[in-house]
Structure 1
Amino acid sequence: MNRRNWLKTWAAAGLLGAAGKAAAAESAECATDGTPLQFMPKTPADPEPLRDELEKYPRCPYCGMDRRQWHHSRHLIHYDDHRVDATCSLHCAALSLGLNIDRGPAAIYAADFGSEEPVRPLVNVDTAQYLIGSDLPGTMSARSKMAFASRSGAEAARAIHGGETADFDQALTAAYLDMARDTQMIRRRRAERRARMRKEER
């Protein structure tokens, strides 16, 4: 099953249907305005999304997090109409794929957590391996989901940090299954942060 049909299967099951319908309803109005339903400014079509990627896409459009700070967990989706969604994490990449159910991803990239480079390079998820549920800190998720360029890299990390290895589709499934709990966690943390800020302003 190809990835577009796989995502549509989730939508048919009701897990992504509402988001997909909302995106489809707005797609005509947003035909030239980048990915629909983002609260950040939309981006123009980009046939070369990996060139100067962090300069062009510094913040996640779904949570606002700095992708340079979270370079080790960032993802980038290049849709087949050259629209780009560059996110901080697999969690936010899953949101993008759910909202854009009628856009086919031409390529999806994830940061190679196993790299020792100061900024982790992006690799195509078709060849990446994920480590799920390790003791590595998760990004936007209580259950960590980190990508590695190779199976050997993921296995080496697993020997130290625990967890289970998986391919991208398995990791994406885990992201959707964790979505409700993770969203509750994120909302709670942000509410607590706003309360602290209000208290400090008094």
Structure 2
Amino acid sequence: MAINRFLFASVFVCCLVATCDGIVSFNSLKPTLTVTATHKGGVLKAGVDNVTVTWMLDPSVPAGTDSSYKTIKVKLCYAPVSQVDRGWRKTKDDLSKDKTCSHKIVAKPYVAGGAVATATWTVQRDVPTAKYFVRAYAHDAADMEVAYGQTTSADKKTNLFDIEAVTGRHVSLDIASVCFSAFSVVSLFGFFFLERRKTKIAEAK
């Protein structure tokens, strides 16, 4: 009995220390937010296409569930298939170390009462090619995560979408390259023409 009490006390102290240190476990959060993401469909292009995210309190949760919610932070998250062999995208239960949702979409004050909120986000140019979903975290007054919602299922296999990264080439650069090449060719022919003309003039003298 004494051993059981000691173990219980140890676990309690560890949890208390973790909380004081600001460590939040993802598994401790409740999925109380309903989140949807709409876009044009197909493969989205970084730097070009938009994603519109909508979130609200799940109508099925008890009244007062959102009493501590102060801010909603929406993030773009890697699907499991795009995390394979990529340690820098690894999912961890400790949210301070979790790399699943590395791209910020928007942060907005939470509107109590289950009001619907929305934001339209242009996919940033630094977003890499991968499969994604969207997750929203509810933060309290201390800016700690207290709840979440996401556009995919718990196993993160449904409602995923693809983003294609910027390739490094741009249409304007291609046009400039073509123009420069054409100018170089014209200049080369002009140079030979002038040289031949000078030679003929010299021979005529």
TM-score category (smaller protein): under 0.3
TM-score, length of structure 2 as denominator length = 0.23
Q: Answer 1 or 2: which has greater helix percent.
A: 1
Q: Larger Rg: 1 or 2?
A: 2
Higher RCO structure, 1 or 2 (CA under 8 Å, sep 6+) = 2
Q: Answer 1 or 2: which has greater strand percent.
A: 2
